[in-house]
Amino acid sequence: MATGSTKGLDEIATKYELPGKIMRDFQSLHSQSPATAKQLVTDLAALYGVSSSVNRGKDSEAFNLISGILCEINNVPLSKDEIADATKLKPSTIHTCIYRSHQKSFEALPSPSGGKAKVYRLTEESLSNCKGTAHEPRITQTAA
């Protein structure tokens, strides 16, 4: 029978579609040192600028994932399919984030491939929030 914390971890793994290995590793850490596991969660929340005491909801989690990816690649515009591949989010979640819950944080641009397709990047204001975080751009351009 699953303990309360194991059952909770299983629910979290299902909710966020996390690979089993991540959850098993965390369960192992939690069983060996619950205090360390709790501190790890707190430290990760602080590192990514998330309040660990407040449930920000699925839309905020999606925004954090999408904006993190875009920040790390210097805000190079991506299609919804590319965002889905990078974040493992469902297309409907990405659409909701871009067009409803965080629409002022994104710019839609015509796709280089043409047609009606769009690519998306963060607005300048949202991009400025990346500076000094774990998602600060890591890709640098070199002179030719």
Q: What are phi and psi of 109, to 5 degrees?
A: -125, 155
Q: CA quadruple 20, 23, 26, 30: dihedral positive or negative?
A: negative
Per the domain annotation, does 12 fall within a domain? yes
CB-count burial class (<10 Å; 0-12, 13-18, 19+) for 144? exposed
Whether 8 maps to a domain, the answer reads: yes
pTM of the predicted structure, to 2 decimals: 0.53
In-domain check, residue 31: yes
Residues 64 and 96 in one domain: yes
Please write the tens of the pLDDT for every residue from 27-76. 888 788 888 877 777 777 667 666 544 334 566 888 989 999 999 999 99
The pLDDT, as a whole number, for residue 56 is 46
The CA-CA-CA angle for residues 92, 94, 99, to 5°, reads 95
**The pLDDT value given to residue 44:** 74
CATH number of residue 67's parent domain: 1.10.10.10
The domain tally of the chain equals 2
Q: Is residue 21 domain-resident?
A: yes
Residue 131 banded pLDDT, cuts 50, 70, 90: low
List the domain range (segments joined by +) for residue 91.
57-128
Q: Which pLDDT score, from 0 to 100, does residue 80 have? A: 95
For residue 142, being part of any structural domain is answered with no
List of residues 6+ apart from 90 with CB closer than 8 A: 84
Q: pLDDT tens digits for 82-124?
A: 999 999 999 988 998 999 888 899 999 999 998 899 999 999 9
Do the domain assignments include residue 143?
A: no
